[in-house]
Amino acid sequence: MGAIPIIAIDGPSASGKGSVAARVAAALGWHYLDSGALYRLTALAATQHGVALGDEANVAAIAASLDVAFLEGMILLEGEDATELIRTEAVGEGASKVAVLPSVRRALLQRQRDFARAPGLVADGRDMGSVIFPEAQLKIFLTASAGERANRRYKQLIAKGEEATISRILLDIEQRDARDRARAVAPLRQIADARLLDTTEMSIEKAVQIVLDGWREISAN
C-alpha cells in the first residue's frame, strides 16, 4: 500500500463525479485532482496555438509543456483565467479527441501522479484507478444513466444562460461515452477492484457520504 492515501473516482461524463470528488476532498482536507481538466486544457492550448487536435506529436508536446496553475477555485492557462472556457461543450469535445492519443496520455502521466501528496488525494477521471493510481486504497466507479446525465448537464447549461436541448445533449453524451469506452489506451470501464456507485436516483450529498463511509471502513482496518 502506498504511503499517501488515494481515493480514485472514475466514471463517464456528467455523472457528477467531479462534484462528489471535490466534496470528498474538502471533507477530508485532502488534495483534489480533476484529471479531465488537464485533457481539456491540452485541447484548449492546442486550439489556441493552431495545432490540429489529431496531430499527435504536436498535441503531446503541448501536453508535456502545459503551463497551468490550479488555484483555489480557478484554473490558469499560460497565466490567463481558463476556468469557464474549459467547461464549454466545444472544449469537452476536443478533450475527448486528444484523450485517445497515447503520447498525450503519456505526457500527462507524471503531472497527474505529482498530485499525490500528504495528507491525501482524491482523483477524478477515467483511468485514475486503472492506470494513474493503481495503488489507490479506494476505487469508485461513479455513474448514472445517460438520460439522467443529460438532464443534469441540461440544467447546468440553462443555469449558465446557454442554449441547449436535451436530445442534443443526450446524443453528445452517448457519442462521448462511446469514444471514451472504445479507445485502445486507458478506456473508460469499471475495473474489478472498483466499487460501483450508481447515482441515477441519488443526491450528491448521499454519494459523498457513501464514499466517505467507504474510506472510513478501509482506514479503520
Give whichever of 74 and 219 is closer to ligand DC, judged by the CB atom: 74
Asked whether position 130 contacts ligand DC by CB under 6 A, the answer is no
Beta strand segments in the chain, E: 6-10, 31-34, 68-71, 74-77, 80-81, 121-125, 138-143, 195-198
C-alpha grid cell, residue 116: 499525490
C-alpha grid cell, residue 119: 495528507
Residues 173-192: x where in contact with ligand DC by CB under 6 A, - otherwise, as a string: ---x---x------------
Residue closest to ligand DC (Cβ) = 36
Give whichever of 35 and 143 is closer to ligand DC, judged by the CB atom: 35
Rounded least distance, CB 176 to ligand DC, Å: 5
Contacts of 12 (CB under 8 A, 6+ apart): 143, 149, 173, 176, 177, 180, 188
Give whichever of 18 and 217 is closer to ligand DC, judged by the CB atom: 18
Give whichever of 48 and 221 is closer to ligand DC, judged by the CB atom: 48
Q: Which amino acid is at 66?
A: L
The binding site for ligand DC (CB under 6 A) comprises 13, 35-36, 39-40, 92, 95-96, 99, 125-127, 176, 180
